Structure 1
Amino acid sequence: MRIIMLTRHEQAAQVLPSASFLDSEVLCLSPVPSSYAAVEDADVVLVDATGDLTRARALCQLLSGPMDCPPILLVLQDGGAAVVQADWGASDFVLTGAAPAELSARLRLLRSRE
């Protein structure tokens, strides 16, 4: 599975510790326009929403709207789940404390919807 995470961190495990247990490598790219073309080659795109929820929402809306990218899995801290709405454009969300089995299952389900 090809997984891309749009984040300011260098490693996915810095945002989502259970990502280190995935069978697939997670390629981390900065959430800047020059990285957006790479998401077309992914099976699933993870968007790091642990810092700035407003920017994460705008990024999800851009990727799911005009860009028509693969399914988006939003990565949130506990409090962030209270504000996420359908109009964000994310296909699903996962909390940073999710167990490896949960993360893997969510990724498999998203990939099968593609």
Structure 2
Amino acid sequence: MEILLLTDGDEFEQPLSALRMFGHAITRGRLAGDARTECRGAKAVLVDGCTDLSAAREACRRLDVWVPSAVVLAVVNAEDFAAVDLDWHVDDVLVAAAGPSEAHARLRLALARRRQSIGNAMQFGDLVIYPDSYTASLADRDLDLTLTEFKLLNHLVQHAGHAFTRARLLHEVWGHEASRRTVDVHIQRLRAKLGVEHESIVDTVRGVGYMVPASPQPQLALTN
């Protein structure tokens, strides 16, 4: 599992680096500021709340938006344990004195709970769409889609095998009049985020418009 440690202090990273003995890959990002780039690809994030509870809380709340598929654990001093409330948007709380074995166990259990609660997530090959949070991941990588990009991808996948004209997509996805060029621009941006290896998920139908090929069939994502 790829684990990101969000901290501004070396003393936080040193004991948790022992998580590597469980086969985890450990990277580090800054607690303060925009850590969106560092978060990409992370399956789990440990947030340092030992020195600044307010900054840790804000970081956890941002992670809920940036990487909704990742599990997030707040790491705090024992005396601050009760300060972590629901508004932190974390999966679990870890006392700083805990060792890497407990951290590994809590991460594993948090990930299992997250998988069991994905609800109506839809899987299409390596692509997983989460309608409740308007997010999607591809090969365990968060796609960081805009709302319109998500709606476009979700619509095409739900109707895999059916070709859509630009006019029909404008009506069914945008819901208002716009230039047909708007569809082309969003398809181009969507393919860029899918990456060269997976851009063919959204195919061009010459003389018609766009479609997602019918195979593999969309299905509910597995919860185990």
What is the aligned-residue RMSD (CA, Å)?
A: 1.8
2:91 maps to 1:67: no
Cα distance between partner residues in 2 of 1:68 and 1:100:
23
- In structure 2, relative to structure 1, the CA distance for the partners of 1:37 and 1:17 (3 Å cut) is closer
The structure with the larger Rg is 2
Structure 1 unpaired stretches of 5+: none
Maintained 8 Å contact 1:18/1:98: no
Cα distance between partner residues in 2 of 1:74 and 1:30:
14
Cα distance between partner residues in 1 of 2:15 and 2:38:
23
Cα distance between partner residues in 1 of 2:101 and 2:46:
16
2:33 maps to 1:19: no
Could you tell me which residue of structure 2 aligns to residue 105 of structure 1? 105
Give the length in aligned residue pairs.
109
Could you tell me which residue of structure 1 aligns to residue 55 of structure 2? 55
Maintained 8 Å contact 2:39/2:67: no
Per the normalisation by structure 2, the TM-score is 0.45
> Per-residue deviation at 1:9?
2.5
> Per-residue deviation at 1:109?
1.5
Q: Deviations over 1:76-106 (max 9, x none)?
A: 0111102110111111010111133211101
Which of 84-93 and 98-107 deviates more?
98-107
Cα distance between partner residues in 2 of 1:72 and 1:19:
15
- Partner amino acid for 1:49? G
Could you tell me which residue of structure 1 aligns to residue 8 of structure 2? 8
Cα distance between partner residues in 2 of 1:86 and 1:3:
22
Structure 2 unpaired stretches of 5+: 116-224
Cα distance between partner residues in 1 of 2:54 and 2:100:
27
2:29 maps to 1:29: yes
Cα distance between partner residues in 2 of 1:9 and 1:28:
10
Could you tell me which residue of structure 1 aligns to residue 85 of structure 2? 85
| Greater RCO, 1 or 2 (C-alpha within 8 Å, sep 6+) | 1
Cα distance between partner residues in 1 of 2:28 and 2:15:
15
Per the normalisation by structure 1, the TM-score is 0.83
- In structure 2, relative to structure 1, the CA distance for the partners of 1:16 and 1:30 (3 Å cut) is closer
Which of 19-28 and 50-59 deviates more?
19-28
Cα distance between partner residues in 1 of 2:80 and 2:14:
17
Identity, % of aligned pairs?
30
Q: Deviations over 1:5-42 (max 9, x none)?
A: 110124xxx22664233222321111221x22221310
Local SS of the residue matching 1:41: coil
